[in-house]
Structure 1
Amino acid sequence: MKIGILNTGNIGSRLARAWVAAGHELVIAKDSDYWDLEPLLKELGAKARYGTIREAAEFGDVLLFSVYWPRAEGVLEAVGNAADGKIVIETMNPLGVTEEFVHYHDLEFMKNSSTTEFLQSKLPKAKVVKAFNVLPAPTLEPAAWADNAIKPNIFYAGDDAEAGKITRGLIEDAGFTPLNTGGLKSARAIEQLGVLVHHVANHEYDGDATLVRLGVSVIQANPGPIFREGLV
């Protein structure tokens, strides 16, 4: 599959490695010059090449919109109509930033929307899917969970069934287990889950320093639930 990564940062670089290893072809782009992509390109080999945001959007049948939320509008301007008809997997969280460069969840925005719904409104001819936004980037590799009996899930949401199916396969190619949460509006719940993980990090563990170690997984009881007479 041809994949365009519209911003190859902490998340995009990790997924690039996994998807090249799974045999996909990539064009990787960067929203800024902050990070030199040359070492990553050498690591990825012949299956990946560098391009502008527009070139990556034109190349991919699937686009990874892994963009810093305050920069979403700028990247959308660079994409233009190149996303029309394509699957766009977006990984954003609605994080605002203060003048002191302190990040915070935009809870007012989250009351009635999600970054996924915003992106779909800006790309009406694309098929937008939410995924990869809960797991911190340093744990977005299977090797991070090598000693864990339970691996974290990647939750995804979208209105288009075929786009969901392809996203599901790319989640598996990245080494994780996908969980379908339903239509596009379910992205709101996935983003709220990210807030919950922050709360758990702050109140159960050692604050944000621990956040990069946390994942979430849904497990089924095995051998199964215990029912008792007269009780549920």
Structure 2
Amino acid sequence: MKIAFIGYGQVGAPLADHLQRLGHHITLAANDPNSESVKKALTKNANLKVAAPRVAVSDAEVVFLATPFQANEAALKAVADEIRGKILIDCTNPVGANLSHGLNSVQSGSEMVQALVPYTNVVKAFTIYGFENFEDSSYPGYNVKPAMMYCGKDSAAKETVGELIAQLGWHPLDVGGLEQALHLEHMTLLWVRMVRIMGHSPNLVWAALFR
């Protein structure tokens, strides 16, 4: 599958690396191919491709949005025509002062992203943990895989994202429509508070158990 990454820092870079090693064609959408973030990603995996944002997105079937939330609007406007009709995986979270919800819980960040690009199929995924678990999702010794919850309004788009989640070693758990994104964003804040503030291990994940 051809996949483009808008944003390839602590979250995007490990996802791009793992997906390329799984056989996908990964392109980093870069305004500056010599930026430090591009160099770091290529140091980890020299097989990642780099292209201007419009080219990278135009050629892709799926686009990962993994920028800081405040950069989303400008990043999406830059590829507005090219991203039309694509699956857009929103990996971003609006975070406000004192680890509050950045949009005051009135609207989810993913719903804002969907409003910015209404002609895409936005799926919220890869947001409920810190970057450590995107670098390594394996939890040997357990008979369950860590859960990756995701949501979106388009069932076909969610099916594609669920397959990518499974390939990356997670248990894909579809939690519903895009209105559920707000709850996933609060789960992210919960994880961050527990790990970054309270001192729990960053290797903390959720699991779904079924009887």
Instruction: Give the TM-score of the pair, scaled to structure 2.
Output: 0.88
The change in CA–CA distance for 1:43 and 1:105 in structure 2 (over 3 A counts) is same
Alpha-carbon distance, 1:199 to partner = 4.4
Following superposition, the deviation at residue 80 of structure 1 comes to 2.1
1:162 is the counterpart of 2:156: yes
Aligned to 2:182: 188
Deviations 1:191-221 (A, max 9, x none): 121223244447xxxx354363321122124
Tell which deviates more after alignment, 207-216 or 17-26.
207-216
Q: Distance in 2 between matches of 1:110 and 1:156?
A: 21
Matches within 5 A, 1:83-232: 83-96=83-96, 104-106=99-101, 109-142=103-136, 144-201=138-195, 207=197, 209-210=199-200, 212-221=202-211
Matched to 1:80, the amino acid is A
Which whole-Å CA distance do the structure 1 matches of 2:132 and 2:178 have between them? 26
List, as ranges, runs of 4+ consecutive aligned residues in structure 1 with deviation greater than 4 Å: 30-34, 147-150
* Matched residue, 1:37: 38
Gaps in structure 2 of 5+ consecutive residues: none
Tell me, yes or no, if the aligned pair for 2:101 and 2:186 is still in contact at 8 Å. Answer: no
Q: Larger deviation: 166-175 or 24-33?
A: 24-33
Number of equivalences: 210
Deviation at 1:52, TM superposition (A): 2.4
Aligned residue for 1:72?
Answer: 72
Secondary structure of 2:99 counterpart: strand
Contact 1:2 1:59 (8 Å CA) reproduced: yes
* AA of the residue aligned to 1:216: W
CA–CA distance in structure 2, aligned partners of residues 132 and 58 of structure 1:
23
Shift of 1:64: 0.1
Identity of matched residues, %? 25
Output the CA distance in 2 between the equivalents of 1:104 and 1:164.
28
**Counterparts of 2:31 and 2:147, CA distance in 1:** 28
Give per-residue Cα distances to partners, 1:79-111, cap 9 Å, x unaligned.
Answer: 2221100000011111136xxxxx63336x242
Q: Which has the larger radius of gyration?
A: 1
What TM-score does the superposition give when structure 1 sets the normalisation length?
A: 0.80
Distance between the aligned counterparts of 2:43 and 2:131, measured in 1? 21
Distance apart, 1:184 and its partner CA? 0.8
**Paired residue secondary structure (1:75):** helix
Whole-Å separation in 2 of the counterparts to 1:12 and 1:201: 20
SS in structure 2 opposite 1:79? coil
Query: Offset of 1:39 from its aligned partner?
Result: 5.1
What is the root-mean-square deviation of aligned Cα atoms in Å? 2.4
Q: How does 1:53-72 map to 2 (within 5 A)?
A: 53-72=53-72
Q: Give the superposition deviation at 1:35.
A: 2.5
Q: Distance in 1 between matches of 2:185 and 2:168?
A: 20
Q: Which amino acid aligns with 2:90?
A: E
